[in-house]
A and B are shown apart, each in its own frame.
Chain A
Amino acid sequence: MIAELGLAALWLAAALAVLQLVAGATAVAGKGKGLSGVVRPVAVVQGLFILLSFLVLIVLFARTDLSVKLVALSSHSAKPFIFKIAGAWGNHEGSMLLWVMVMGLAGAFVALFERRLPERTMLATLAGQAFVSLGFYAFLLASSNPFERLNPAAVEGNGLNPLLQDIGLAFHPPTLYLGYVGLSVAFSFAIGALVTREVGPAFAKAMRPWVLGAWIFLTIGITAGSYWAYYELGWGGWWFWDPVENASLMPWLAATALLHSASVLASRDALRTWTVMLGVVAFSMSMVGTFLVRSGILTSVHAFAVDPERGTFILVLLAIYIGGALTLFGLRATTVAEGKQFNTVSRESALVINNVLLSAILAIVLFGTLYPLVTEAFDTKVSVGPPYFNPVGAIFFFPMLLVLMVGPLLRWRTDSLGRVSKPLIFAGLAVLAAMIALLIKGGAGLLPFIGMALAAGLAIASVLPLRGRNLRRTPLATWGMVVAHLGVAVTLFGMGCETAYKVEKLEAVKVGESTQVGPWQVTLKAVSPVAGPNWTALEAAMGARYGDGPEYTITPQSRNFWTPPQQTAESALLTRWNGQLYAVIGGEADGGRWQLRLWWKPFVTLIWLGGLLIALGGTLALVGRVASDIRRGIARVKIAERKEGMA
């Protein structure tokens, strides 16, 4: 009966979304005043029902209930418990249920905690959230029902794709979705503000923490996904410009731009329409990404079993929501009053340039991702990869880094470049020093060369806003900005260094033989069979020595899963402060030799460390903002009480 409970909860949540939409819309239209009181509670209950539905699915997977079709198709009783749980979202239906659950919970949280928006805008926002949720409820119920029964029940399940049987599956999709779908709140806020025409600093201040929260999760999700693909696929790459990766990068770029423009709107009441536009674009990119990933319309190294038929449904939803939102934007944008003005040299200007350049990069990624679809319509099959994305993106990314060095030092409204040029000399010197060091070392290509030099400059420039400040009294939000920008520098340096100086060795060696990769000497000690709960493997024991240092043992495996039958390469990593040794064992070559693939990747770990720093910066800013909001709220209550006391 439990599967039916999950399905019933899903239907109820969908029905509540209808109620939320109707009640919210009529209240906004000024009719049925009595209904306005139910919108918030309904949004909360809707969130609870969709949460219940999702928990039921997890229970079904935990028990391996083989009378449920989805469980039989993508799980197996012999799978380790953690992967049984995580397997609930390691398939299309479960993944979409997670999607709508995050959307429902985001709406519930807004209904519970958002108190700053004017009531009418709030109702329009919740109605908007319900409207978008409804489409995806319809999608789940009509074409992707996760609770469908199988009669008779299967004897054993088909098992989960072995590449997904990794701890990464437990963390990456939920964090990514919290960010991805969390942006729906920004979308609904934008719709709400457009409907009631209340676009101003109050709107930006209300929206900012939600966007920041989603953006933090998105950043962590992308970082975790990159590291997962890096060690799991066994190819040693950390970013392939694959459509599925781009699908997560595009909302991140839009959300990053949105965060910055929202801060201009909140502090200076400028960039009104632009901020609303970005709110629409950010979540639109999430939906485009969902379409690309879920329809399987593009070839991806991260793709799972997909059903192209479902793409049509999502495409229709996309057309309705994005088209509808843009139409509303077109109708209302001109009626939003202009914001405050600012000088050409000012913090606002820097943020505008940053925004436009981020949007340009977003356009480049979007075009590159969709291009294969366009050419396929003319019967030409192409794929687009690093030779396009890296140089074309860099044309806009590198200038953006320069603005990133200057912008945080500028004052709001008006400033002069002369005032900030003195501290920036340090950043300029860092760029020069890095260039000289890299030229002496040699061997770096143009893009990694510029990237590493700018990273050095940005590392210095990012902490410059702290100079002359009392560090204890510096607001947390400022610390957040400094840490996040420093994170960009750290990531960029890691990317440049790995690209320029990685060393690869591919060789067939006998047991007892050694090979050299970069500064490492690696000896193949033994190759022996090992067994896991649902796999057997050949495990190579290798001794690895860095220079004259001690010898470490690493054990890459070549695993054979039997449900479903598939071979995966489990790479072995050895992390030092200055990089990682990456080892993969291939097949047996003739003469008793084994294929080994080894990489030395200097400073590769900085890529993900920087990503975590960016997320940490966002967290500091969020904590700082929320704390000061709460303080202000308490102060307001106290003043009100005092007034009452006096009266």
Chain B
Amino acid sequence: MNAVNAAGGGLKPKHQRLILVVVALAILIAAALLAIWGLRSQASYFYVPSEMVVSPPDPSQAVRLGGMVRQGSIVTEADGVTIAFVVGDGDATVPVRFKGIVPSLFVEGSGVVAEGKLAADGTFIADNLLAKHDENYVPRELQDMTEHQKDDLAAGVSDLQ
């Protein structure tokens, strides 16, 4: 019997359970607070070009830029793997640079979501491009865009043709 008392540190079972619950709750609340702090500082926000021009994100902040690739704007640089193009939403445009292999359905006039950072000179440096995967699957941002802004964009894009 002595051993049992020693094991419990002289606590009643109810008290030990209470202590365990309090400790567990404290750690879980700490996790929740950390998560909230982390999400506020580390979530990557989605911009359309007009928002990005009006209130540019901090150059250190990873964000995503979604819009339509302007007709005639895709230029491949001399190294053969870096491309530059312009993304627009009818109101504003943002120049984008991307080094990598482009998705197959990335073409002029199509929608794209670029992940990366806005450099100080106003060029968006993308480290990933999301285009339509196939006929069935479209990134959600692009889907919304095509639904809400299609006519708008079509007008903007055709002006430049």
Contacts and interface: CB of A to CB of B under 8 A. Distances in A.
Contacts, number: 152
A94 B43 CA distance: 34
Nearest to A366: B35
A395 B24 CA distance: 16
A384 B27 CA distance: 23
A234 B102 CA distance: 12
Interface stretch (A222-230, A297-305, A489-497, A609-617): A297-305
Interface of A: 161-163, 234, 274, 296, 298-299, 303-305, 338-344, 346, 352, 356-357, 359-361, 363-364, 367-368, 371-372, 375, 380-385, 387-388, 391-392, 395-396, 413-414, 506-508, 564-567, 569, 584, 586-587, 589-591, 593, 595, 597
B136 A383 contact: no
Contacts of B123: none
B44 A384 contact: yes
Nearest to B17: A338
Contacts of A414: 3, 6-7
Given A161-B136, A338-B14, A564-B135, A367 B32 contact: yes
A343 B27 contact: no
Given A299-B139, A343-B7, A364 B80 contact: no
Contact of A359 (B11, B28, B34, B39): B28
Contacts of B38: 364, 368, 388, 391-392
What band does the interface of chain B fall in when counting residues whose beta carbon is under 8 Å from A?
A: 35 or more
Contacts of A508: 79-81
Instruction: Indicate the member of B17, B32, B42, B79 with the most A CB atoms within 10 Å.
Output: B42
Contacts of B73: none
B99 A506 contact: yes
A56 to B, nearest CB: 25
Main secondary structure on A side of the interface with B: mixed
B57 to A, nearest CB: 12
Interface string B14-33: 10110010011001101110
Contacts of B3: 414
A392 B7 contact: no
Given A380-B46, A383-B43, A564-B134, 20 more contacts: A161-B134, A303-B137, A341-B4, A342-B7, A343-B7, A344-B9, A346-B7, A356-B28, A359-B31, A360-B28, A363-B31, A364-B38, A380-B45, A414-B3, A507-B79, A567-B104, A586-B101, A589-B80, A591-B80, A595-B101
Contacts of A391: 38, 42
A298 B35 CA distance: 19
